[in-house]
A and B are shown apart, each in its own frame.
Chain A
């Protein structure tokens, strides 16, 4: 084979990813979903401001909101962690392959040609970007609302230690990134499910059920041997990043587990999709 053959342009892969992101973030449905995600920190901030807050019933971070606006972001993340954020990731990842199959655009993408492995890689990369963007959107909205209504300044951690505003904000962003990785691992499950069907809504519902089932199993003590393997198990460890010193144990295990989930389900998606007859 001679050297003079079709030479792919290097920039084109980034172009496809940009197109994919534009498809996700340009879609009305997804924009509406992101607005709902933003509404939670706004609601939390306003509610706490109006009622004066600080009463023990709510999640941990609630009682600290009046001390430092950054806690609005953490409280919002805690509230959205069980359903809203996983639902958003499930909607995007469930749509990844099944949505294109459902529209029939999958056959035209493949005939371009887009190599199937590359299609899965770009689709998954876009899901990862979405996971980070959606989580970060909640955090940033929380920070802006919190600072506007409660002010910033140094943060008093649960251990009683005080850290400066800069470090505190850095830790909130770290917690956000950590959670994003967790949601990205759910996205890997989603893209796998998405290769099984031509019904994007079905794939999304399946991923949401899977996620909620994980949360439920995590509360059943008789199944405690299973808990460390549940995809959702270490998500709540993001709070450990707000301790002093940082408790890395849960976060480390969470990151490792997420990496394993991403690897396993991405490979499963590939195994399913690479040789599949596309008759949609």
Chain B
């Protein structure tokens, strides 16, 4: 197996995983605590360079999965590969390239924000002490905490604590960031900042696995999505595919539904349906505006025209029968 020579070079390493282009790959991953199965036979596939939204209600097994990825918890069954290295054996080589935020921030209350980061950096055998101060300040600056660096962690607000935890994950250049509920405790402005930070990191080539029970907070930045429900991974794939981006449905409200359906079929729409006062079909290659023009041209009175793309929220509800804030 070929491995990267050193962590500090930026960007994803393409040569680390010889078998796959996956930053995270699990097979049959299962964790039971006593009788309770927290995570049940999941196969995560997080491609390199992706922003993977790991979604699911509170208590659906996201954090336990993340703890297993980071070798904090031993799986009951199954295997894990991080950046092409098998866990937990490869943890010593893989984890220095992984920045993480697990189940909220946790720091020494009587140390300043900067001192807390210095401690984590001191524990990292791969960190260069000579660049520590510069890297710590850069990380603090990136999350907007530089001005409060000298304050005791105890005096930080929840949002500041969350920012400090993100700064800790950014202390060194990372190939993979695992961010568990990074927007918890942040105000809308802070949430936006985290989203934009994730986008920036992803642009730089870092793979990001971001978990959330609030779909709306991460939906915009995710290229890939995995949905957890009661310990199982019930859906996974490219966000666009899951949304069904290729085949939005159109709905025409009209007093002449038969005529409308005829036009829709002519324009090549699939699954054309006719109902009382409406007709519908699945748009393929034809742009929606052409369909409208054709309807008007054929003299079909159009009272309403709707292009309906199924949202991830719809998908989630259909998969789990629950809203996002409900415990699984």
Task: Spell out A's residues near B (CB within 8 Å).
Answer: 1-2, 4-9, 11-13, 15-16, 18-19, 23, 27-28, 103-105, 107-115, 275, 277-279
Contact = CB atoms under 8 A, between A and B. Distances in A.
**Most B C-beta atoms less than 10 A away, residue of A1, A6, A112:** A112
B96 A113 contact: yes
Given A107-B102, A113-B96, A23 B3 contact: no
B117 to A, nearest CB: 11
Given A5-B93, A115-B92, A275 B106 contact: no
24 contacts: A1-B1, A5-B93, A6-B4, A7-B126, A8-B125, A9-B125, A12-B125, A12-B126, A13-B125, A15-B122, A15-B129, A19-B118, A23-B111, A27-B110, A104-B103, A104-B106, A107-B72, A108-B106, A109-B120, A111-B100, A112-B123, A277-B74, A278-B72, A279-B72
Given A104-B105, A112-B95, 17 more contacts: A2-B3, A6-B3, A6-B93, A6-B126, A13-B125, A19-B119, A104-B104, A105-B106, A108-B106, A110-B70, A110-B71, A111-B70, A111-B95, A113-B70, A113-B96, A114-B124, A278-B72
Nearest to A27: B110
B156 interface: no
A8 B126 contact: yes
A1 B74 CA distance: 25
Contacts of A279: 67, 72-73
Contacts of B241: none
Contacts of B95: 111-113
B5 A5 contact: yes
Q: Which 6 A-B pairs have the closest CB atoms?
A: A104-B106, A19-B122, A8-B125, A113-B95, A5-B3, A4-B5
B35 interface: no
Contacts of B2: 2
Given A12-B127, A19-B123, A107-B106, A7 B6 contact: yes
A16 B122 contact: yes
Interface string B96-118: 10101011111111110000001
Nearest to A109: B123
Nearest to B109: A103
Contacts of A7: 6, 126
B325 interface: no
Interface in B282-324: none
